[in-house]
Amino acid sequence: MMKALDRPIGTMQGLWLKATTKMAPPAAGPTTGTVGRSTSRQPLRVAVLGDSTAAGCGVDNHDESFTGWLARELASRTQRPVQWQVVGQFGATARRIRYRLLSQIGEELDAAVLLAGGNDVMGGRHPDEWAADLAAIVDDLMERSGHVVVAGIPPFALFPSVPPALGRLLTARAEALDRVSRDICRTRPCTTWVTMTEIPPRHFFATDRFHLSAAGYRRWAQVVADHIPV
């Protein structure tokens, strides 16, 4: 719950965080691949779209990122190979994803996952702006994919690098955007919103104490995989 002075104090803490934190770079290496053993069954086609979490900030390559873990998790559960693709960019808001990144995602997908919202929260975007961009992204992904998953925004209050007042301020903003996300997904078929309030423990974060580690991405991928009907 926000306190009376959280807004002015949080604003100052946000400036301090931006000036003092060296963010982990995106994952290196290929942004497409196939995992799992070849079988007579058609491979599952999965794409991940979004911000720095999609880009794999915090780990060395996409084998250790959310996308790599998700592909392996789905391959293990279905005993089918999984063809994966990821399009992510550090600092991307929903607006940038909508107009710059979305067109790079493939067609005829079995599942598409959107990881976004953190930068919209930190930028203080109004829920109505978020709603317009998110609805457009989801509607486009529905035409490309059999199922769409929109991941909720993690609670910033639990990030090790985020000071308390700033954490409460950002968490309140995230909750407002998540309410919009739930409503948008609820009115669209084959679209699921997945809460991310169960953020991994603190040791699941990368060295920048802001992005997830390989263990954190693995846990997140497991949660999302539970909501992909395959």
CB 215 within 8 A of CB 56: no
What pTM does this model have? Answer: 0.91
pLDDT tens-place string over residues 68-124: 999 999 999 999 999 999 999 999 999 999 999 999 999 999 999 999 999 999 999
Q: Which domains does the chain have, with CATH numbers?
A: 42-225 (3.40.50.1110)
Half-sphere exposure of 224 (CA within 13 A, CB side): 33
- In whole angstroms, what is the distance from residue 63 CA to residue 178 CA? 28
- In whole angstroms, what is the distance from residue 208 CA to residue 220 CA? 18
pLDDT tens-place string over residues 117-148: 999 999 999 999 999 999 999 999 999 999 99
